[in-house]
Structure 1
Amino acid sequence: MSPEKGAVNLLLNCAHAAEGDKLLIAYEPAEYGYFDADAVGVVARAAEQLGLVVDAVDVGFNPGNPHLAPELLSRFEAADIILFLARLGDQLRFSEMPQGKKIIVSFALSRELFGSGFANGHHAAFLELKAAVNTALDRAEQVRITCPLGTEITGRPEMNLTASGDTTVLRFPMSVFTPVPAHSFSGRAAMTFLTGTGSKYYDDYTPEFTAPVIALMENGRLTGFEGAPQDVARAEAQYDRVAGMFGIDRNFVHSWHAGIHPGCGYPWDMRKNYERWGGAAFGNPRILHFHTCGTYAPGEISWNIFDPTIELDGVALWEEGTFRAERLPGGSEIFARYPCVATLFDRPNRDIGLRAVG
């Protein structure tokens, strides 16, 4: 594994680049504390070695008004492949993008992540795993979600596997399945904080709790919280504030997904930068992620459930944060075709940025 091999995996197995293609890297400067400066160079050098024509443009970071300016759009039109090493791509991934282009959002944020199993695991294998999970969910009569802190959620998935059910922007690495609509799910979600989704950014982005808080959900609607009174008050206030700020449906729970990529580690302290953590760590199987507060994906407040067990008709495909992909129909065959990915599942990266508070 190496950063260069991770970049080649992106270019060949995700973008399907060919010699002579024009690659535009839309990057966010490292000064914003999200993407490392080295990430651009890693991809640019790999692309040039593959015979691509490389251009790069600084798209900055505009938390309040993400958009494609006319001059930027003209740069996009001249490219065959557009790679976002910038949050702008994630902010706009559910919006209109130029047609006829290969547009990729990278969740590998640094040279370190490009050199890890996260970026080096063959991209095609994770596309196949995603499809297998989607099919299993679509066929399931009942899904049960639990976790060590007391989550207990059940429902029957009503999947939307058409193009409208997921973003059409390519994501690298592929690390989650198609979001499961939450309107048919009810129960209790246990968490230790609330945080934003990366759709919009706002002050007090991540209120932490002194003890686990339980969010109560009925058929995809938030009905209240249980926990220490001061924590419940903080959760309620966060929903009131964010919903009021953006004029959105406060109690709507849109959808959920869990990570499918055992190479997706987060080697930093999540509490030092929840925004960065939320944009990189969610692909780890130890994290189940709900989109809430707003009738659209990804909403504005996320629930993050750690070490989930997810049972489909009694079969645990996730066991306390370990994705048992071999239990999927066709899972063992995927491992046989991609032994490098099988190795990642044998030695999953369990680091999701949790550090002892001192």
Structure 2
Amino acid sequence: MSDMTPERGAYNLLVNCARAAAGERLLIAYEPAEFGYFDADSVNVVSQAARQLGLGVDTIDVGFNPDNPQLSPDLLARFEAADIILFLARLGDQLRFSDMPQDKKVIVSFALTKEMLGSGFSNGHHDAFMELKADINAVLDAASEVRITCPLGTDVSGRPVMNLQPSGDTSILRFPMSVFTPVPAHSFSGRVAISFLTGTGSKYYDDYTIEFDRPVFAMMENGRLQRFDGDPANAARAEAHYDRVANQLGIDRNFVHSWHAGIHPGCGYPWDMRENYERWGGSAFGNPRILHFHTCGAYAPGEISWNVIDPSIEIDGVTYWNHGTFHAERLPCGQSILDRHPCAAALFAHPDPDIGLRAVG
């Protein structure tokens, strides 16, 4: 995929994801680069691509409000006047379960910068990843047993009880499509090895991330956190973190809601995760090297995530993820999807290994 460009990424977003047609009105709701999350260039790249496609383009600065994101009457009126609403802003994810206007195509972008629009993450054909998502969903839905392991000692298993009904969330399109439908955790038990705890982007709180100098094990039974095992000092810090976040937000401390892994080998994170865990947590999870549990709170995405690095996922005896490599060709329709979308096949042949992990110390 040597011909990857930000313009092609924008085209993929508008044509293959939004199914935009000439004459439609696009509203780009963006947050300024000063918040350190989205860059300043993406709005222009997408606007120019949209105009070349014959779309009317409008932009609005929606800022960033970590504490009380709201859909103001003024903003709602702007949304009503558009056919397609694209969020280059965290507001799209913050509002995702709220009252978006009906009959609109609403897109939340996980391509945060012009660089990411120009990478394999945004240039791999959107349909390929929608089809791969449907394929892995079907495999999970029919599965008797799933086992998750990792090099640090994760070992969790259970039988998925999938909810593949179109829920209230379907009006939101995600670009790029980088995960399968979350698997409810209530039927899973075992231990999850974690090197750090970080928030989910749902709410923002002090000490959003805590790191451990050696892994701790979250012991889970039927979707409930039982305790943290491992190094006693680190385990105690983890317990205290859960106490504090759950008490502060008044939520079910030990609820483990669901998990998913990345399906997009083009989803690289070219920065150091430690520089901005919020940003890392909002985009890197689509890489197959990351498996992500939603915990702390009886709702998605919860408030604290467990991130398993380089997971292996075995479904009814077939290893679909092997130490962070997603073998899409092992899916029932996987090889035919890759054959029809050589751009996606090229990404699987040469996955982006960068998920923002830098050597410590």
Q: Give TM class, smaller chain.
A: over 0.9
CA distance in 2 between counterparts of 1:58 and 1:229 reads: 47
Runs (4+) off by over 6 Å:
none
Aligned position for 2:89: 86
CA distance in 2 between counterparts of 1:191 and 1:166 reads: 29
Letter in 1 for 2:29: A
The change in CA–CA distance for 1:34 and 1:279 in structure 2 (over 3 A counts) is same
Identity level (%): 75
Letter in 2 for 1:278: G
* SS in structure 1 at match of 2:329: helix
Residue 249 of structure 1 deviates from its aligned partner by: 0.3
CA distance in 1 between counterparts of 2:198 and 2:123 reads: 29
CA distance in 1 between counterparts of 2:25 and 2:237 reads: 49
List aligned pairs for 1:121-270, cutoff 5 A: 121-164=124-167, 168-270=171-273
1:60 aligns with 2:63: yes
The change in CA–CA distance for 1:168 and 1:224 in structure 2 (over 3 A counts) is farther
Task: Please point out which of 105, 118, 123 is paired with 2:121.
Answer: 118
Which 10-residue stretch deviates more, 307-316 or 166-175? 166-175
Q: Deviations over 1:273-323 (max 9, x none)?
A: 000000010000000000000111000000000000000011000000000
Residue 67 of structure 1 deviates from its aligned partner by: 1.3
The change in CA–CA distance for 1:167 and 1:234 in structure 2 (over 3 A counts) is farther
CA distance in 1 between counterparts of 2:110 and 2:254 reads: 28
1:292 aligns with 2:295: yes
Q: Does the 8 Å contact 1:24/1:57 carry over to 2?
A: yes
CA distance in 2 between counterparts of 1:207 and 1:168 reads: 34
CA distance in 2 between counterparts of 1:96 and 1:146 reads: 38
CA distance in 2 between counterparts of 1:90 and 1:167 reads: 13
List aligned pairs for 1:263-282, cutoff 5 A: 263-282=266-285
TM-score, reference length from structure 1: 0.99
Q: Does the 8 Å contact 1:166/1:178 carry over to 2?
A: no
* SS in structure 1 at match of 2:167: helix
Q: Does the 8 Å contact 2:257/2:293 carry over to 1?
A: yes
Residue 227 of structure 1 deviates from its aligned partner by: 1.9
Residue 168 of structure 1 deviates from its aligned partner by: 3.7
Aligned position for 1:315: 318
Residue 102 of structure 1 deviates from its aligned partner by: 0.2
Residue 83 of structure 1 deviates from its aligned partner by: 0.2
1:303 aligns with 2:276: no
CA distance in 2 between counterparts of 1:62 and 1:312 reads: 40
Q: Does the 8 Å contact 1:23/1:52 carry over to 2?
A: yes
The change in CA–CA distance for 1:165 and 1:142 in structure 2 (over 3 A counts) is farther
* SS in structure 2 at match of 1:163: coil
Q: Does the 8 Å contact 1:81/1:101 carry over to 2?
A: yes
Residue 166 of structure 1 deviates from its aligned partner by: 5.4
- Equivalences, count: 358
Residue 44 of structure 1 deviates from its aligned partner by: 0.6
Q: Does the 8 Å contact 2:253/2:297 carry over to 1?
A: yes
The change in CA–CA distance for 1:275 and 1:249 in structure 2 (over 3 A counts) is same
Q: Does the 8 Å contact 1:94/1:167 carry over to 2?
A: no
Give the alignment's Cα RMSD to 1 decimal.
0.8
Letter in 1 for 2:336: E
Q: Does the 8 Å contact 1:166/1:179 carry over to 2?
A: no
Q: Deviations over 1:82-111 (max 9, x none)?
A: 000000001111222111100000000000
Q: Deviations over 1:250-275 (max 9, x none)?
A: 00000000000000000000011000
Aligned position for 1:12: 15
Aligned position for 2:32: 29
* SS in structure 2 at match of 1:353: coil
